[in-house]
């Protein structure tokens, strides 16, 4: 080894250095290169050290050969022993040979010998500019035309938590040694590789140098313990690594302070280290780990996930650490879609046909007619009319015949503050994309110059639906108060009239037919059918019909009797008294009183129509 080369390498080959190098494999340190290796390639690994990466290459160049070269005869002996232990041949296809050599004194190989030349953690020990250029020129000489030169070098490190100050004590001093012979404004070789490669002639035509980044993360108690053992070994008396620190002017006091900090880091739960990241990746990683958020993420009851908060640039980030669990695949089965639900919907046949046609075509056609990407992909159908006339049941029936799950969200979930609504809608729409569905409830009353909060709420919702990719079915019984901007986004408006006698009679019959199928023994079906005309004359809506049947069945069960018309008559008579009270109240109060006391509520049902991504 020449004196110039010898003086540029400061770490030596102590057992602590070898312990680090022997962890490196082709998969961890050359993953970016592996897809480009052909079976018959000849590969040269420059600065191979203990040979773990070199040996790994032989699995990919199984019909070629690999040579590892290093300046140290001692470390090459370790490499040869590792190859023998792995039963790697030293000649023939897939062979690995280790040879001593100094790239700065010339490689002992003819021009155009190798398909691939690789170097890991080598150029960081070459002070610029002449030495790395000499090494690159020699690599280029032995590389075949069209061959690949691949290098990997450290750029930065970070230790978390920052309070232990290892970024100053370890990382800063590590860079101080690396910059020992550099001018104040000069960067280490490892961070200047694209420039040096072009200067060495590897990118004469442009576009041939590909820059990537990778990160090594050290976490977990055993890994921290091992890393601390290695660091303390490096800084003990007699190790070349320690001497390189002293040569760089790092004092004994700082070395002792570093050893104490390393020990604390090793014994700190959840501490970790990040290594070998390029600067831009380093900035993102450290920003993510350093930022502390005091607000807890809202989670559902019995949510056992662990959440880590952070920010990369201006983007808030949450890492959800999922708990491990068993998945009982025996309980997974195909969904039995209720195609009868839409058929049982009691509305005009023209409405049913139009809704079915639009939804079916929306599922089949996913191309937007809007000139702006991401907009205009939705189909919005407004269903309005009195309560209980079939609006919500229409959305449910659509979900069944379209074979899409229905995700229900109440207005209480969404909130009424603009910021809350925007966050919730984004989360709900994201979940809807995963499930291929959405549904939610919001307030959509017309904007008013006197109510800035409501204006912001409507604006947020309008923006959300503008970019929603799917089918939205808003339902309301107060369409007259809808904002004009919302009306302009609706493709089709369907009005649901109050139920007629014939529609009420049909709804009663549908409910009783289904009930006979599931509980025939406990239902006096003929008795109820005999009074079907009487039931149809009662002026109640579809939801009230369902509620009356439910309560009447419970009354029959309580009396230990068969469910018959008398139970329905009793429930309808009692609940009718409350209905009369409400009617009298509305006749007495003005519309403004009713709106203030009873509230104005609208809901919308959102259906995803595209396939799950």
In whole angstroms, give the CA distance from residue 412 to residue 414: 6
Helix (H) or strand (E) holding 452: helix 452-466
Give the tokens for residue 43: 């590969």
Long-range contacts of 140-145 (CB under 8 A, 24+ apart): 140/200, 140/201, 140/202, 141/107, 141/111, 142/44, 142/107, 142/109, 142/110, 142/111, 142/112, 142/113, 142/114, 142/117, 143/112, 143/113, 143/114, 143/116, 143/117, 144/112, 144/113, 144/114, 144/115, 145/112
- Using CA atoms, how far residue 217 sits from 28, 282, 306, 553, in Å, is 12, 12, 19, 63
First-residue to last-residue Cα distance in the chain: 58
User: In this predicted structure, which of 271-275, 495-499, 525-529 has the lowest mean pLDDT?
Assistant: 271-275
Helix (H) or strand (E) segment spanning residue 515 = helix 501-519
98-120 tens-digit pLDDT: 999 999 889 999 999 999 999 99
CA distance 244 to 384: 79
Q: β-strands 143-152, 65-70: how paired?
A: unpaired
Three-state DSSP class for residue 481? helix
* pLDDT, greater one: 191 or 514: 514
Q: What is the pLDDT of residue 547?
A: 86
Please, which residues have CB within 8 angstroms of residue 494's CB and are 6 or more apart in sequence? 351, 354, 355, 381, 382, 383, 384
In sequence order, the 6+-apart residues with CB closer than 8 A to the CB of 605 are 392, 395, 406, 439, 472, 473, 474, 475
Position 325 scores a pLDDT of 63
The first and second tokens of residue 307, run together, are 């959440």
Query: Residue 599: how many CB atoms within 10 A of its CB?
Result: 9
- CB–CB of 33/118 below 8 Å? yes
pLDDT of residue 239: 84
Express each pLDDT in 9-42 by its tens digit.
Answer: 556 667 887 887 888 888 888 888 888 899 999 9
Q: How big is the CA angle at 385 (ends 381 and 386), to the nearest 5 degrees?
A: 145
* Per-residue model confidence as pLDDT tens digits over 365-406: 544 444 333 444 566 667 766 677 777 777 777 777 777 766
Query: Comparing C-alpha atoms, which of 300, 299, 304, 504 is closest to residue 388?
Result: 504
For the whole model, what pTM was predicted? 0.47
Q: DSSP code of 48?
A: -
What is the C-alpha to C-alpha distance for residues 398 and 391, in angstroms, rounded to an integer? Answer: 11
Q: Are strands 114-120 and 42-46 parallel, antiparallel or unpaired?
A: parallel
CATH architecture, domain 1-153: 3-Layer(aba) Sandwich (3.40)
Query: Is the model's pLDDT at 538 over the cut of 70?
Result: yes
pLDDT band at 442 (very low <50, low <70, confident <90, very high): very low
User: Which residues, 6 or more positions from 430, have their beta carbon under 8 angstroms from its beta carbon?
Assistant: none
Residues of each domain in the chain carrying CATH 3.40.50.150: 1-153
Buried b (16+ CB within 10 A) or exposed e, 379-391: bbbbbbbeebbbb
Q: What is the pLDDT of residues 226-251, one digit of tens each?
A: 888 988 888 988 888 888 889 889 99
Tokens of 21: 């190098």
CA 278: distance to chain centroid?
Answer: 23
User: Rg of the Cα trace of the chain?
Assistant: 37
Q: Which residues contact 514 (CB under 8 A, 6 or more apart)?
A: 344
Report long-range pairs for 218-224 (Cβ below 8 Å, ≥24 apart). 218/272, 218/273, 218/274, 218/275, 219/270, 219/271, 219/272, 219/273, 221/269, 224/265, 224/266, 224/267, 224/268, 224/271, 224/272, 224/273
Task: Give the model confidence (pLDDT) of 145-177 as tens digits.
Answer: 888 898 888 777 788 888 888 888 988 888 788
What pLDDT score does 321 carry? 53
Predicted local confidence at residue 53, as pLDDT:
95
> SS3 letters for 374-428?
CCCCCEEEEEEECCCCCHHHHHHHHHHHHCCCCCCCCHHHHCCCHHHHHHHHHHH
CATH of domain 340-497+599-607: 3.40.50.300
Other beta carbons within 10 Å of 38: 12
- Residue 370: what pLDDT? 41
- pLDDT tens readout for residues 575-586: 776 666 556 655
C-beta neighbour count of 546 within 10 angstroms: 15
Residue 450 — pLDDT band, cuts 50, 70, 90? Answer: very low
Predicted confidence band of residue 287 (pLDDT cuts 50, 70, 90) = very low
Distance separating alpha carbons of residues 126 and 135, to the nearest angstrom: 9
What is the bridge-based pairing of β-strands 315-321 and 306-312?
A: antiparallel
User: What pLDDT sits at residue 369?
Assistant: 41
Asked if 602 and 476 count as a contact pair (C-beta separation under 8 A), the reply is: yes
Block residue for tokens 């799917």? 470
- Per-residue tokens: 35: 């897809």
């Amino acid at each position: 080894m020449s004196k110039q080369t010898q003086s540029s390498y400061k770490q030596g080959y102590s057992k602590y250095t070898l312990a680090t190098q022997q962890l490196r494999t082709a998969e961890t340190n050359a993953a970016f290169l592996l897809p480009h290796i052909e079976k018959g390639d000849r590969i040269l690994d420059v600065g191979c050290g203990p040979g773990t990466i070199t040996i790994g290459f032989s699995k990919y160049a199984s019909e070629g050969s690999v040579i590892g070269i290093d300046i140290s005869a001692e470390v090459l002996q370790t490499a040869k022993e590792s190859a023998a232990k792995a039963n790697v041949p030293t000649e023939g296809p897939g062979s690995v040979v280790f040879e001593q050599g100094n790239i700065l004194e010339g490689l002992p190989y003819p021009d155009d010998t190798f398909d691939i030349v690789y170097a890991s953690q080598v150029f960081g020990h070459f002070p610029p500019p002449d030495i790395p250029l000499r090494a690159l020129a020699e690599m280029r000489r032995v590389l075949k035309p069209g061959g690949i030169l691949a290098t990997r070098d450290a750029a930065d490190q970070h230790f978390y938590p920052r309070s232990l100050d290892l970024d100053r004590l370890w990382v800063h001093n590590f860079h101080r040694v690396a910059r020992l012979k550099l001018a104040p404004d000069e960067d280490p070789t490892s961070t200047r590789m694209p420039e040096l490669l072009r200067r060495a002639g590897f990118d004469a035509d442009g576009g041939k140098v590909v820059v990537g980044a990778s990160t090594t993360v050290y976490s977990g108690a055993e890994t921290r313990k091992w890393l601390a053992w290695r660091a303390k070994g490096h800084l003990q008396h007699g190790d070349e690594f320690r001497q390189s620190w002293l040569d760089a002017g790092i004092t004994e006091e700082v070395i002792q302070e570093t050893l104490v900090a390393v020990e604390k880091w090793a014994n700190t739960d959840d501490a970790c280290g990040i290594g070998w990241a390029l600067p831009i990746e380093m900035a993102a990683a450290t920003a993510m780990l350093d930022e502390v958020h005091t607000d807890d993420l809202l989670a559902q009851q019995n949510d056992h996930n662990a959440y880590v908060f952070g920010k990369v640039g201006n983007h808030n980030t949450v890492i959800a650490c999922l708990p491990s669990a068993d998945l009982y695949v025996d309980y997974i089965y195909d969904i039995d879609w209720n195609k009868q639900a839409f058929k049982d919907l009691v509305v005009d046949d023209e409405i049913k046909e139009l809704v079915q046609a639009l939804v079916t075509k929306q599922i089949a056609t996913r191309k937007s007619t809007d000139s702006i990407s991401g907009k205009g992909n939705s189909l919005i159908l407004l269903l309005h009319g009195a309560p209980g006339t079939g609006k919500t049941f229409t959305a449910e029936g659509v979900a069944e015949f379209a074979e899409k799950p229905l995700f229900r969200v109440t207005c209480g979930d969404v909130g009424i503050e603009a910021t809350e609504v925007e966050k919730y809608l984004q989360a709900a729409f994201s979940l809807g994309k995963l499930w291929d569905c959405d549904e939610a409830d919001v307030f959509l009353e017309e904007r008013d110059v006197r109510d800035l909060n409501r204006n912001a709420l409507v604006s947020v919702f309008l923006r959300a639906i503008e970019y929603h990719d799917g089918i939205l079915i808003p339902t309301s019984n107060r369409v007259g108060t809808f904002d004009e901007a919302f009306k302009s986004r609706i493709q089709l408006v369907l009005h649901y009239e109050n139920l007629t006698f014939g529609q009420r009679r049909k709804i009663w019959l549908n409910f009783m037919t289904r009930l006979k199928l599931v509980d025939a023994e406990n239902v006096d079906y003929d008795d109820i059918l005999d009074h079907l005309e009487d039931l149809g004359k009662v002026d109640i809506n579809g939801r009230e019909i369902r509620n009356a049947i439910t309560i009447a069945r419970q009354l029959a069960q309580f009396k230990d009797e068969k469910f018959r018309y008398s139970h329905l008559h009793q429930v309808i008579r009692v609940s009718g008294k409350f209905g009369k009270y409400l009617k009298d109240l509305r006749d007495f109060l003005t519309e403004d009183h009713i709106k203030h006391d009873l509230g104005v509520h609208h809901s919308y049902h959102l259906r995803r129509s595209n396939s799950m991504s």
